[in-house]
Structure 1
Amino acid sequence: MKLFSKTITMLEQGLDYASLREKVIANNIANVDTPNYKAKEVRFKTELDRALTSLKAKRTNPKHFEFQHDATGNFFVATRNDVVYNHNGNNVDIDKEMSDLAENQIYYNALIEQLNGKFNTLKTVIKGGK
């Protein structure tokens, strides 16, 4: 028996993504002056595309199209090798990292608000609407 709805599970996966992205961005910022350090990024779209290639659903009629889906909830951390910004071989753009950090914080806070709303709804139901 599942205690919580699928919405809470999806919010949890979103928080996992935001947490990993926060760690990667913080690592990039910490290594802004490290020679030959290559910035990393969390790629969700790559993982989503991989998961969607194996999408499968139950067919109720043989004339229906076949498709399947095996979502794992994993995220791919990749090194950015496309550009070198600094003379020491480092490609961390501090302005981009700070912008990404602010964007990720807003995303994280929105997920927390949604999760709090779900738990408040459950609390109201448990108390009988009081």
Structure 2
Amino acid sequence: MAIRFDRVLGVHEDAMRLRAQRTEVIAANLANADTPNYQAQDIDFAAAIRDAQGGARLAATAGAHIQPGEGRHGLAGTLFRESTQPSIDGNTVEPEREKAMFGENAVQYTASLRLLGDRLQGLLTAIRGE
């Protein structure tokens, strides 16, 4: 009997990939905190995970329709974030907020990693017949 890893790993594989990509987006925001007119971005995690799991997609029925595109980081859920205190030069990055989101995302990535590791450990236990 063949093992279907996509069923065994479930959503955790996609969650880890999206969390890693969100880390890149937040890091890019922090790196551009002093860049004039830079617009802070984030990932709509719920939309991105739904898309990764094969969720509903929009269909364009005419050529003039706006196509559901991907953001700068290659994710459909990439959005520009509204700033509570935009700077005079048009930059919307708030370093303290970004650092807090970076930490939160790191904790969520670690949780996904731990859940994925538990799944794999369970699979190894089943294979060994323990």
Cα 1:75–1:14 change in 2 (3 A) is farther
Percent identity between matched residues is 28
Aligned-partner residue type, residue 104 of structure 1: N
1:82, distance to aligned residue in structure 2 (A): 5.7
Whether 2:26 is the aligned partner of 1:33: answer no
1:52, distance to aligned residue in structure 2 (A): 5.5
Whether 2:76 is the aligned partner of 1:87: answer no
Post-superposition Cα deviations, 1:18-66, rounded to whole Å, max 9, x if no partner, equal 01111100000000010111101111344559x4588xxxxxxxxxxxx
Aligned-partner residue type, residue 33 of structure 1: D
2:119 match: 118
2:83–2:93 contact (8 Å) kept in structure 1: no
Separation in 2, partners of 1:31, 1:113: 31
Say how many residue pairs are matched: 109
Separation in 2, partners of 1:18, 1:45: 11
Cα 1:2–1:120 change in 2 (3 A) is closer
1:17 match: 18
- The higher radius of gyration belongs to 1
Larger RCO (CA within 8 A; separation ≥ 6): 2
Gaps of 5+ in 2: 59-74
Aligned-partner residue type, residue 121 of structure 1: G
Aligned-partner residue type, residue 23 of structure 1: E
TM-score of the two chains, using structure 1 as the length reference: 0.71
Aligned-partner residue type, residue 105 of structure 2: N
1:10, distance to aligned residue in structure 2 (A): 0.9
Backbone CA RMSD of aligned residues: 2.5
1:59-74 correspondence to structure 2 within 5 Å: none
Gaps of 5+ in 1: 55-73
* SS in structure 2 of the partner of residue 41 of structure 1: strand
Separation in 2, partners of 1:93, 1:80: 10
Aligned-partner residue type, residue 104 of structure 2: E
